């Protein structure tokens, strides 16, 4: 059975030891951010801050999906599930989307603020890192927008900085689905309606991070992930719908050409990113929220947190689906979260008739090419989830000249710090593919699985604990 709301998920995390309730008073100014950053770096349980300074009755949930255990629990799987098992289950579900169910009311409507009653400082918005350009209300949330031409609805996660009581500044890449929609609204010289959702049940958040095709609606994907329809309720002031069980919902408009200063911010790449610059202004006209609202957040930085793990997970599934649809004999795809989701490993079946250059062109030339900076191709005897095997293949099978190919002038994520100022300004960069596959007859691999008869392997595994090993 799917989670009814974020609070249901919190109960599950607590029952498995994956959440702790922090009852001591904590400060929204840096202290909470520091705690969550430490949690992400050591893989500690998610903290639920129940006593936030200046905000009685409201709570902050930190790092809700920052570990494989919590991601597995969000999917309804055993918390010890291997990433490959989670990937297979996730891929199966997103291929069976379920349309949402419209309802008349929901918990997110327990409190309604309209017009002059809107005050974003009513919520415990943290100052996440020292040196951030402001308090970031949006670090784990999703923005809802509708395409003005085709009418479909997009969900996406774009960072949101609090500017004043009714305004936020949002960093949106022009190549993102929301960025493309905003350009269409501006071309028509009319405002773009939006809703921002905080604290939905976890699979809605996961769907908002998924690398979906243009026109593919995340609400339907969320239903597929849940195995049942997601309940949506109509907004108060804009023609959009949001999850009825959400903790907090902001509604408003982005007016053409209206901007606010935003940034910098401690980013998912593990460095401060995005110099202070003008970004689209999100003007909030209405707020709805639950009693004793819980505001979720993550604290981006060095790997791994939600910013790397969830994007790597969903993008890996999308890449494998795209390659399979192109007829590529792929046996595994994994984007290592530790690479800040910029390095992809693709395992290809030996004897396939597709060249490494063809695979690289498909990845770098598609939607995922914006994020991928390095592509590593390996044979099907390499486990893409095993970093030791990947590094061994990279070190022993990739010729430093023959098997390395660069691709220039490709749209790229401009936050990567090694890019030159010119590349960042142009929004393009250089990609590289390392072809770590045998090009001829391969020597025998010496490992536990390959250097012994099968009956010996099975005997050792069966007797492992009797030998005295854990």
Of 74, 132, 10, nearest to 310 by C-alpha is 74
Q: Which helix (H) or strand (E) holds 354?
A: none
Q: What is the DSSP letter of 26?
A: B
Q: Which helix (H) or strand (E) holds 273?
A: strand 272-273
What are 360's two structure tokens? 């690289």
* pLDDT the model gives residue 218: 98
Catalytic residue among 267, 306, 357, 423: 267
Task: Please tell me the distance from the alpha carbon of residue 242 to that of residue 219, in angstroms, as a whole number.
Answer: 9
For residue 261, what are the CA distances in angstroms to 83, 161, 190?
A: 39, 9, 21
* pLDDT the model gives residue 424: 87
Q: Is 267 a catalytic residue?
A: yes
353 half-sphere exposure, CB direction, 13 A CA radius: 2
* pLDDT the model gives residue 122: 97
Task: Please tell me the distance from the alpha carbon of residue 423 to that of residue 257, in angstroms, as a whole number.
Answer: 25
Scanning 259-398, the segments in alpha helix (DSSP H) are 306-325, 356-364, 387-397
Full DSSP string of 119-160: -GGGS---B-STT-SS-EEESS-EEEEE-TTT--EEEE---E
pTM (2 d.p.): 0.93
For residue 320, what are the CA distances in angstroms to 156, 214, 291, 323?
A: 21, 17, 42, 5
Domain ranges of the chain: 6-297, 326-436
Q: Splitting the chain (470 residues) into consecutive groups of 10 residues, what average pLDDT does each group show?
A: 94 98 96 96 96 98 98 97 95 96 98 98 97 97 98 97 98 93 97 98 97 95 98 98 98 97 94 91 98 97 94 95 94 95 95 86 91 96 96 96 94 88 89 94 88 94 91
Q: Are 378 and 346 in contact (CB under 8 A)?
A: yes
Phi, psi of 147 (to 5 degrees): -70, 130
Burial of 85 (0-12, 13-18, 19+ CB in 10 A): middle
Residue 91: how many CB atoms within 10 A of its CB? 15
Q: Are 161 and 277 in contact (CB under 8 A)?
A: no
What are 88's two structure tokens? 């297979």
Q: Which helix (H) or strand (E) holds 435?
A: strand 428-436
Q: Are 430 and 406 in contact (CB under 8 A)?
A: yes
Residue with tokens 């009693």: 291
Architecture of domain 326-436: 3-Layer(aba) Sandwich (3.40)
Architecture of domain 6-297: Roll (2.30)
């Amino acid at each position: 059975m799917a989670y009814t709301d974020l609070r249901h998920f919190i109960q599950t995390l607590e029952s498995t030891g994956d959440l702790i309730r922090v009852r001591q008073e904590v400060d929204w100014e840096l202290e909470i951010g520091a705690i969550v950053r430490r949690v992400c770096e050591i893989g500690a349980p998610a903290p639920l801050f129940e006593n936030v300074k200046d905000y009685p009755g409201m709570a902050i949930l930190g790092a809700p999906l920052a570990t494989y255990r919590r991601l597995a629990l969000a999917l309804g799987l055993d918390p010890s599930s291997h990433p490959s098992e989670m990937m297979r289950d996730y891929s199966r579900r997103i291929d069976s989307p379920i349309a949402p169910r419209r309802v008349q009311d929901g918990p997110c409507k327990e409190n309604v603020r309209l017009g002059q009653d809107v005050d974003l400082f009513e919520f415990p918005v943290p100052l996440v890192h020292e040196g951030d350009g402001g308090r970031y209300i949006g670090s784990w949330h999703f923005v809802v927008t509708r395409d003005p031409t085709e009418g479909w609805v997009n969900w996406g996660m774009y960072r949101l900085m609090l500017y004043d009581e009714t305004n936020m500044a949002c960093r949106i890449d022009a190549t993102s689905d929301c960025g493309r929609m905003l350009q269409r609204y501006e071309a028509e010289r009319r405002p773009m309606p939006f809703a921002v959702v905080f604290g939905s049940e976890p699979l809605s958040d996961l769907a908002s991070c998924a690398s979906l095709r243009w026109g593919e609606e995340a609400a339907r994907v969320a239903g597929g992930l849940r195995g049942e329809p997601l309940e949506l309720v109509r907004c108060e002031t804009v023609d959009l719908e949001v999850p009825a069980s959400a903790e907090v919902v902001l509604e408003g408009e982005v007016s053409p050409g209206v901007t606010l200063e935003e940034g910098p911010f401690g980013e998912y790449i593990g460095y401060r990113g995005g110099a202070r610059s003008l970004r689209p202004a999100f003007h909030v006209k209405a707020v709805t929220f639950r009693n004793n609202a819980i505001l979720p957040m993550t604290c981006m930085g060095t790997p791994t947190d939600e910013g790397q793990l969830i994007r790597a997970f969903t993008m890996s599934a999308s890449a494998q689906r795209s390659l399979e649809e192109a007829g590529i004999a792929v046996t595994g795809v994994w984007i290592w979260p530790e690479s800040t989701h910029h390095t992809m490993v693709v395992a290809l079946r030996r004897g396939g008739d597709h060249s490494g250059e063809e695979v690289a062109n498909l990845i770098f030339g598609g939607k995922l090419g914006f994020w991928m900076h390095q592509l590593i191709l390996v044979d099907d005897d390499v486990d893409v989830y095993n970093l030791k095997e990947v590094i061994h293949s990279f070190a022993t099978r990739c010729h430093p000249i023959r098997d390395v190919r660069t691709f220039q002038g490709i749209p790229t994520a401009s936050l990567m710090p090694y890019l030159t100022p010119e590349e960042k300004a142009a929004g393009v960069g250089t990609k590289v593919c390392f072809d770590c596959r045998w090009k001829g007859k391969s020597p025998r691999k010496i490992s536990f699985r390959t250097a012994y008869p099968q009956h010996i392997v099975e005997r050792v595994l069966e007797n492992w604990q009797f030998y005295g090993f854990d």
